[in-house]
Amino acid sequence: MVGLWIVLAAVVLALGFGGYRLLTDGRFNGTHAVRGAGSEQDVTAQPAETDPSTWASLGEAVASVVPGERATLVQFSSAFCAPCRATRRILGEVAEVVPGVVHVEVDAEHHLEVVRRLNVVRTPTTLILDGDGREVARAAGAPRKEQVLGALPLGM
């Protein structure tokens, strides 16, 4: 009977996908090296136009915000996003406790250009930028506090 097979397929699909998400959500992965980011000198030597930092790519989405000296936590949120609330609280707490860390929230819906440019596909997605505004790690899904603290770039 076809109906029964569809039930079984739906259960397997849901448990598989949900289980995968449960394991990977909130985990920070080091971002692929930005072009020319191999050595500090190369990057600073390049003109900003040819290798814009992630912070620069964010552009007007973060217009009025001063980035953190040690790290900036950029959170992409949307209106229909239940875990965004918990993420906001956790990142806010980290920014409050750790000196030099700033939390910024970007409404993904209203900055679709930026969302495409930075390849954000889900909300919440959290990017961790270093003091120079380069992305060092990102996590999709709500991270736990330890996960954020563990992924922060070292202070100076």
Partner 1 sequence: MSATAPRQARGPSASYAEPVEAPGIDPRGPQFTAAITAVVLIVILLLPPAAAAVLTGVQALLFALGAMRGVQHTPHAALFKRLVRPRLRPSAELEDPAPPRFAQAVGLVFTLVALVGYLTGLTLLGQIAIGFALVAALLNAVFRFCLGCEMYLLLKRLGG
* Range list of β-strands (E), 1-151: 29-30, 71-77, 101-107, 125-130, 135-140
Residue 123 binds partner 1 (CB under 8 A)? yes
Q: Strand pairing partners for 103?
A: 73
**What is the pattern of x (binds partner 1, CB under 8 A) and - over residues 5-44?**
-xx-xxx-xxx-xx--xx----------------------
Of residues 49-88, those binding partner 1 (CB under 8 A): 61-66, 73, 77-82, 85-86, 88
Rounded CA-CA distance 80/144 in Å is: 20
Q: Considering beta carbons, is residue 34 or 65 the nearer one to partner 1?
A: 65
Pairing state between β 125-130 and 135-140: antiparallel
What is the C-alpha to C-alpha distance for residues 123 and 66, in angstroms, rounded to an integer?
A: 23
DSSP state of 28: -
The nearest distance, CB 140 to partner 1, in angstroms, is 10
Q: State in angstroms the smallest separation of the CB of 108 from partner 1.
A: 6
* Element (DSSP H or E) covering residue 74: strand 71-77
Residues in touch with partner 1 (CB under 8 A): 1-4, 6-7, 9-11, 13-15, 17-18, 21-22, 61-66, 73, 77-82, 85-86, 88-89, 91-92, 95-96, 102-110, 112, 115-116, 121-123
